[in-house]
A and B are shown apart, each in its own frame.
Chain A
Amino acid sequence: MYNFLPHTAEDRLNMVKAMGLSSETQLFDDIPASLRHGITYKYLQPEGLSELELQERLKQLATQNTAGSYSSFLGGGAYHRFIPSAVNTIASRSEFYTAYTPYQPEVSQGTLQVVYEFQTMIAELTGLDVANASVYDGASAVTEAALMAARITKHSKLLVSKTLHPDYRAVLNTYTEALEALTIDTFDPLKSTVENLIETWPTDDVAAVIIQHPDFLGCLTEAASFNALRAYCDARGALLIVSSDPVSLGVLEPPGRLGADIVVGDIQPLGNNLSFGGPYGGYMATRQKYLRQLPGRLVGRTLDKNNTVCYTLTLQTREQHIRREKATSNICTNQALNVLKATVYMALMGPKGLCEVATLSMQRAHYLASALSKLPGVSLLAPERAFGFEFALSLPAPAEDCLTWMRAQNILGGLSLSAYYPEYPNTLLIATTEVNTDKEITHFIDVFGTWVESFNLSHSKKEASGALKAKETCPS
């Protein structure tokens, strides 16, 4: 029993004797007897399970998650993407897996160089100067970026897009409520163009404008809107924070070049498992001039005493273990294993691979959106807006009905938006990625079509014109 504990009974006896004690229990004499006695358990069994029994138990639980046999079009901030086998080969190496935080650079060069490469890759994708070693997830990255903007501008108002991921907005709310120092105003880019909305925005004390691009509904912010946001921020002394899916940045112009001061997002789509919501990792990138206010770990390149190039955690004085209550944040981890997976993933994909993943996902979304929106009573929620690999579809009936229908045909057809936006009860959010095969797409269209037909509505599906094979779409 307890075969993970190495001592034999004899070992324990010898150690107790060596300390001049008569019994191990003496080591707990400093705990008040009233606490020690009568410890009882309501749920825990006294005996542990053997490894074989554990195996049975866990396998049984895992198979009760029956979603695996469905083809999934779920998105909403977490995406089912292809993970090359080599990612897990590297990530499961004990040397990475069971290493401590790299506070001792002499014996942590592996982890440190990986993080340095990650920082560089994220800076490349976002078009900014510096990136940190990651924070908890996309939601915490947005929140930390907002707090960072408040420190830099010494302003207190946040203007937040309603199409920023609802969970990210919720987390931002939780933090700002606890801090009682920042106020949040939301704006709805579906109601009007950003250029028009800006007219109504405050003229002073604005710390940041926060948008998502592509946003929660999959929509993109046009270059002209970026220009308008940049101009507003410049005029008001505010920062522009953009949350972006990192895979989409394989093909999209980096937000840093479109005017963003801080770009954040979640690295889950870069080689990380869905795992029912975590662990993922939040990335944060910014301009050089804001470096000192960037929270989270940073790895720098330097030399050792023998003139060997090496890597080390640096600028640690911003962190809690030195600054305590004056730290930039209380965060004291980074998502190192997720960062490792993301780094290996990006290295394996390369610039072209990442562009292809993004492009293929978008081609599928656009194909699907075009086919579905031809059906009667079905239309894009925002037909005038460009989108990436995710889109919101207005339906003739509640989205839950549609999802139930699709589920009966082994399809997880997307997310009903009503949970997030009660004003859109009949709206479905659909995501496609490279793992949704051509066959799955066709099947989706068929099954969805039968659901629409079930309303006995007239059916005017247009014939697709001459089939063409896709050409190479990413520039070489």
Chain B
Amino acid sequence: MADSHIIPDNVKLTETHEYLRIDDDDRARVGISHFAAEQLGDIVFIELPEVGQRIEKGDTFGSIESVKAASDLYMPVSAEVVAVNTQLTEEPELINDNSYGDGWMIEISLSNPDEVNELMTPAQYSQIAQ
């Protein structure tokens, strides 16, 4: 997708390249930035948590692998996992193609919505991701 690198406005990001896309007040989707996906190369495998799991901000919620690299995924905020993108198991390439859209990883219910304010704006993130 030609514009898959453009970070949507309702997205906030972390220094470890995860994003949080806020869809309504206490629900959000988590994935990794397009920049991070590009750095990893073709994604071949992703390991995601189970629905219902509670994970603290900064803890790992899964891992992601390309042919030559592997990386842990860190929670941008404390939350409960309410849905997992099972399509990624069969088609991990969605993360490369459209990380902010079909390439989302987990849907969460935020434990502490204030934590969102500690994350980076797209503009701030663009400073570190280049």
Contacts and interface: CB of A to CB of B under 8 A. Distances in A.
A and B touch in the complex (CB under 8 A): yes
* Residue among A317, A318, A322, A326 with max Cβ neighbours from chain B (10 Å): A317
Interface stretch (B14-22, B65-73, B77-85, B91-99): B65-73
Interface string B20-55: 000000000000000000000000010100000000
Contacts of B47: 292
Contacts of A326: 70, 72
Interface residues of B, number: 9
A318 B70 CA distance: 8
A323 B70 CA distance: 7
Nearest to B66: A317
A316 B70 CA distance: 9
Contact of A322 (B45, B69, B72): B69
A318 B47 CA distance: 13
A322 B68 CA distance: 7
B72 to A, nearest CB: 8
A316 B66 CA distance: 10
B8 to A, nearest CB: 29
A322 B70 CA distance: 7
A317 B72 CA distance: 12
B62 to A, nearest CB: 12
Contacts of A317: 45, 65-70
Contact of B68 (A292, A316, A318): A316
A318 B69 CA distance: 10
Contacts of A318: 70
Contacts of B67: 316-317
B108 to A, nearest CB: 22
A315 B67 CA distance: 7
Interface string A284-306: 00000000100000000000000
B69 to A, nearest CB: 7
Contacts of B72: 326
B88 to A, nearest CB: 15
Nearest to A319: B70
A292 B45 contact: yes
A318 B65 CA distance: 9
A292 B70 CA distance: 13
Contacts of B70: 317-318, 322-323, 326
Nearest to A312: B67
Interface string A30-66: 0000000000000000000000000000000000000
A69 to B, nearest CB: 54
Nearest to B47: A292
B50 to A, nearest CB: 12
A323 B66 CA distance: 12
A317 B70 CA distance: 6
* Residue among B45, B65, B68, B72 with max Cβ neighbours from chain A (10 Å): B65
Contacts of B45: 292, 315, 317
A323 B69 CA distance: 8
Nearest to A324: B70
19 contacts: A292-B45, A292-B47, A315-B45, A316-B67, A316-B68, A317-B45, A317-B65, A317-B66, A317-B67, A317-B68, A317-B69, A317-B70, A318-B70, A322-B68, A322-B69, A322-B70, A323-B70, A326-B70, A326-B72
Interface of A: 292, 315-318, 322-323, 326
Query: Lowest 9 A-B CB distances belong to which pairs?
Result: A317-B70, A317-B65, A323-B70, A322-B70, A322-B69, A322-B68, A317-B69, A316-B68, A292-B47
Interface of B: 45, 47, 65-70, 72
